[in-house]
Structure 1
Amino acid sequence: MPIVDLTHRIADGMSLFPGTPLPRITPLAWPDSDGYAEKQIQLTGHTGTHMDAPAHVFSGATTLDQWPCDRFTGSAVLVDCRDYDGPVSADCLDRIASLKSLDFILFRTGWERYWGTPHYARQGPYLSQELALALAALPLKGIGIDALSPDPIDSSTLPVHTTLLKHGILLIENLRGLDRLPSDRRFELTALPLLYADSDGAPARVIARF
């Protein structure tokens, strides 16, 4: 069973949402001088490929560390929406044969091709509010996208975030390698966020198996 890693590596020069502090990876010890290697990692919970919890937009809402691990794995499908220049409309769901017993939907916008360049932080395809409402009506565990956000980059109200997170649908942002996933059948998705207290968001290792 092939396993595809859908996670961007955290490193210097990586793409970030405008205003997000740069991650810092600082060596603290070296094998030659200390007998072992160790690094200190400093980053926000929304760095790189990461997951958003309801607490990201709602005060006092559920955090990622409050969910069991089975909340982060399940059946998934890929929706290819590279033909959209702006908001992705709800009719893209018509491309899915069946939405029953589905846990995750991943949206391939093609924006990953700009990763590591200034263009990645510009406005690309995003999910329409119409689509967000349609997704909120499904018994999903989460959705994912190969871009900085399912909302417009300059949005201050984050309508897609609030609509989906209000219904407990987790958001996975900055995915990579969606071109390696099957578009004609379901696959198994696992997205495990870093476990830390009161996590409104966390970097996640995301893999697909099919």
Structure 2
Amino acid sequence: MPLIDLSREITHKMPRLPNHPMVIIAPFSTHEEKREVDGYTFSSAVMSLNMGDHSGTHVDAPVHFDERPGARGIDEMPLEDFFTEAVCLDLSHKPLRSEISVEDLEAAERAAGVEIRRGDTVLLHMDHYRRTWGTEGYITDFPGLTKASATWLGQKGIRMFGVEAVSPGRPGRANFEVHHVCRDMGFTHIEGLVNLDRLVGRGRFRFIGFPLKIKGGSGSPIRAVAWIEG
């Protein structure tokens, strides 16, 4: 049962969009602090985490991009949404800062030899992480979906799609339009994935990425994993 880790490490002051909280990780207690209870001496290490619900590899809940009453928080989303059949489309040839068109997605689906099915998670390998990680371009230079290409995914009846970038659409209007396609068509997306190159050409697999049960959360970090059967 080969498992492929698709998640970024959550690290102190990791790169994030400027309108999201900074991740702060610090020791709260260490093994240098000894305690004694009933004559028994011991120590424990505990870390303090201060971060937003869109930190690291994470999934957006509907309430993040849907202002209408009744939009679901992350704690209200069914667990079945995070344990699905999945496919990975190879878009690594797309230049940085480019738009991903419907034609790009159709060609990638044909090249992968798979059919996107209702209820799938669709992962989009753009080779963005390898090309930009450690540079300022990681936050700004990714290829992105358009309103039309996000709508094409939605028409397939998918549960969600996932990207390596910090946003699914190019910065600016395109990104808001993609979020609103998700709102209007009833699906969502994952941001901040890694290791998608290891899924190219692997056909269908299982995607696993359960969120934290944050009351009313607008999203949640996930431990995203691909389960390759056989």
What is the SS of the residue equivalent to 2:22?
A: coil
Instruction: State the distance in 2 between where 1:13 and 1:67 align.
Output: 29
Tell me if structure 2 keeps the 8 A contact 1:127–1:160: yes
What is the SS of the residue equivalent to 1:164?
A: helix
Aligned match of 1:26 = 26
Aligned match of 1:83 = 93
Aligned match of 1:133 = 151
Describe the superposition over 1:110-144 as per-residue Cα deviations: whole angstroms up to 9, x where unpaired: 11122232120123200021111111112211100
Give the deviation of 1:43 after TM superposition.
Answer: 0.3
Describe the superposition over 1:34-80 as per-residue Cα deviations: whole angstroms up to 9, x where unpaired: 41111111001111111001100112311111022112111111111
Give the deviation of 1:183 after TM superposition.
Answer: 2.0
Q: Quick one: structure 1 residues 95 and 123, their matched pair in 2 at CA, closer, same or farther if it must change by over 3 Å?
A: closer
Instruction: State the distance in 2 between where 1:163 and 1:169 align.
Output: 8
Residue 206 of structure 1, aligned match among 221, 224, 228: 224
Instruction: State the distance in 2 between where 1:171 and 1:164 align.
Output: 8
Instruction: State the distance in 2 between where 1:124 and 1:182 align.
Output: 19
Describe the superposition over 1:64-118 as per-residue Cα deviations: whole angstroms up to 9, x where unpaired: 1102211211111111112223110112234323223451110111111222321
Q: Quick one: structure 1 residues 180 and 126, their matched pair in 2 at CA, closer, same or farther if it must change by over 3 Å?
A: same
Aligned match of 1:188 = 206
Give the deviation of 1:2 after TM superposition.
Answer: 1.1
Q: Quick one: structure 1 residues 132 and 162, their matched pair in 2 at CA, closer, same or farther if it must change by over 3 Å?
A: same
C-alpha RMSD over aligned residues: 1.7
Give the deviation of 1:174 after TM superposition.
Answer: 0.8
Larger radius of gyration: 2
Give the deviation of 1:157 after TM superposition.
Answer: 6.5
Q: Quick one: structure 1 residues 94 and 184, their matched pair in 2 at CA, closer, same or farther if it must change by over 3 Å?
A: farther
Superposed, 1:119-130 pairs within 5 Å as: 119-130=137-148
Specify every segment of 5 or more residues in structure 2 that has no aligned partner in the other structure, as ranges: 35-42
Q: How many residues align?
A: 210
| Amino acid corresponding to residue 82 of structure 1 in structure 2 | S
TM-score (norm 2): 0.85
| Amino acid corresponding to residue 108 of structure 1 in structure 2 | H
Give the deviation of 1:165 after TM superposition.
Answer: 3.0
Tell me if structure 2 keeps the 8 A contact 1:78–1:107: yes
| Amino acid corresponding to residue 177 of structure 1 in structure 2 | N
Aligned match of 1:145 = 163
Residue 154 of structure 1, aligned match among 158, 172, 177: 172
State the identity as a percent.
Answer: 29
Superposed, 1:54-73 pairs within 5 Å as: 54-59=62-67, 60=69, 61-73=71-83
Instruction: State the distance in 1 between where 2:91 and 2:101 align.
Output: 9
Instruction: State the distance in 1 between where 2:29 and 2:123 align.
Output: 40
TM-score (norm 1): 0.93
